[in-house]
Amino acid sequence: MVTNITNLSRSGLYDWMLQRLSAIILAAYTLFIGGYVLMNPGLDFQQWSGLFDQTWVRVFTLLAILSIAAHSWVGMWTIATDYLNARAFGERSVLIRFPFQLICFVAVFSYIVWGIQILWGN
């Protein structure tokens, strides 16, 4: 078994399942928001904030944000370990890979917090 500590769950199976589940949630959310915009031509701010006043829309949106976070973390981690590894950058590739993963983590974490702030802030 190959060990690692920087992927999402330490289990390939769990990461794999999470990526597929989050893809389904994201597809559903895209259909929902896309459909709403298409069905409401001339959408104004009042209507838009009315939509997001409903708790279930906020929960669904938060779920979509968390899905993006998990999905992109698995994806970016895969990219980092495919292209920023010893084969591409030699023995000290971790000095490139780890900062890259750190930047991805800070970005993903910030988006989650920012998203919650938008949804439930004033």
Partner 1 sequence: MLVSVYRYNPETDSKPYMQDIEVEIPEGKDLMVLDVLNLIKEKDETLVYRRSCREGVCGSDGMSINGVNGLACVTSLSEAMGSKKKLVIRPLPGLPVIRDLIVDMSLFYKQYEKIKPFLINDEPEPAIERLQSPEDREKLDGLYECILCACCSTACPSFWWNPDKFVGPSGLLQAYRFLADSRDTATEARLADLDDPFSVFRCRGIMNCVSVCPKGLNPTKAIGHIKQMLFDSAT
CB 78 within 8 A of CB 15: no
> Tokens at residue 41, please?
């031509």
C-alpha to C-alpha distance for 10 and 7, rounded to whole angstroms: 6
C-alpha to C-alpha distance for 33 and 87, rounded to whole angstroms: 42
Stretch that binds partner 1, among 21-29, 34-42, 54-62, 75-83 (CB under 8 A): 75-83
Write down the least CB distance from residue 39 to partner 1, Å.
Answer: 36
Closer residue to partner 1 (CB): 65 or 80: 80
Residue whose tokens read 């920087």:
6
> Tokens at residue 113, please?
């917090």
Q: Which amino acid is at 90?
A: G
Stretch that binds partner 1, among 15-23, 48-56, 58-66, 109-117 (CB under 8 A): 15-23
Q: Which amino acid is at 89?
A: F
**Binding residue (CB under 8 A) for partner 1 from 60, 83, 100, 111:** 83
Contacts with partner 1 by CB under 8 A: the residue count is 18
Q: Tell me, what DSSP letter sits at residue 92?
A: G
Q: Is residue 81 close enough to count as binding partner 1 by CB under 8 A? A: yes
Q: Is residue 7 close enough to count as binding partner 1 by CB under 8 A? A: yes
Q: Which residue ranges make up the site for partner 1 (CB under 8 A)?
A: 1-4, 7, 10-13, 15-17, 81-83, 85, 87-88
Residues making up the annotated binding site for heme are 71
